[in-house]
Amino acid sequence: MDALRFHWCSPPDTGQATPTDIYKIGALDMGEVTDFVQEAEELGVDSLLFGISNYLPDPLPVLGALSQVTDRVKFMLAYRPGLMSPTLFAQVVNTLAWMSDRRISLNIVSGISPAEQAGYGDFLSHDERYARCGEFLEIIRGLWEDKQPMSYDGKHYTLKDASLGLGHKGGGRPEIYISGASAVAQQTALASGDCWLRYGDTPEGIAKASKPVLDGGTRVGTRMHVLARPTREEAVAELARLMRNPDEDHEAWIRKWVDTTDSEAVKSSYRLADGAKDEWLSPFIWTGAVAYRGGPALCIVGSYEEVATYVHSYKAAGVSEFIFSGWPTRDEMRNFFTHVVPLIRRLEEQEPTA
């Protein structure tokens, strides 16, 4: 079996001190971002996810700049179809592929908030956004598969003789991750993606939900948080410290936002958290921060050995990739790659050979 791949989510700032802090927005310090990314590269992070939202800097120029101050770490670009024509998007990604020596992958997100989408002039329903996403992916893949000049007549896009002078560096195309928890998200991943990306759950929960995707030959990845310490007692004590003096107004704001979202991924994470016993979905998955941080905040917690064993157990459930975060995220990234990843690699070495 292939080795598990470990990505990290690049924070919108220097990384929140606790799970309950309000996001720090309204500024971009490229010096801090560069410092974070360069340490991630030194630690051996596979890719860094750069999200997209109206409260975040636009990831395209940020990744262009970061590609010039790094050599190995890859960048996972989150993008929503509908913000840019597919031809122009393929052109931009091709340019980034040349700037970064092909260190670009795509995390295609159809949108999670009708209110936020409306701010960009997009008023499509959940399933209509995925239908547009399917057309978008069909076009950009066609351009990357050298079906040029390319004409297309769909419900959402119409093109005539589209062609690009600058192809993807080295030919081919970037890896494509499709995010979402709905059936239509899975169908889109099967049709046009390399990996279906979803928020966390237990290994058993993910195995059950992922069966159609795995049976169709598409990889599965999950987005979660992690907190590992030398002992379980230290890890649980750290949770208690992080949750002191929570911002209840922020929790109320998040809950109100969840009520307005049409994202099955977000809603399913809240259902898991609401149904957890004493904030524990399993002995190693803590749900207490979901109320403050949303779907990605399901957190694997334990000693270095416990976390390594539990993360490795997802492999048998069909998961091949993780996108992690932590609190504070830079410290936890350092902790995870220094103390936990070597233990996981040791477990992988002990796997039976085919």
Answer yes or no: are the C-beta atoms of 327 and 18 closer than 8 Å. yes
97-147 residue pLDDT tens: 999 999 999 999 998 889 889 999 999 999 999 999 999 999 999 999 988
Amino acid 283: pLDDT: 97
Q: For residues 52 and 55, give the distance between their C-alpha atoms in angstroms, rounded to a whole number.
A: 8
As a whole number of angstroms, the distance between CA 125 and CA 129 comes to 6
5-349: CATH topology is TIM Barrel (3.20.20)
CB burial class (10 A; 0-12, 13-18, 19+) of residue 207? middle
Cα–Cα distance between 299 and 226 in angstroms, integer?
5
Burial of 249 (0-12, 13-18, 19+ CB in 10 A): exposed
Q: Write down the pTM of the prediction.
A: 0.95
List the chain domain ranges.
5-349
Instruction: State both tokens at 131.
Output: 């239908």
- Bin 338: left if φ > 0, else alpha if -120 < ψ < 50, else beta: alpha
Which residue stretches of the chain have pLDDT < 70? 13-18, 20, 22-23, 354
Backbone angles phi, psi at 106, to 5 degrees: -120, 135
pLDDT in tens, 295-323: 889 999 999 999 999 999 999 999 999 99
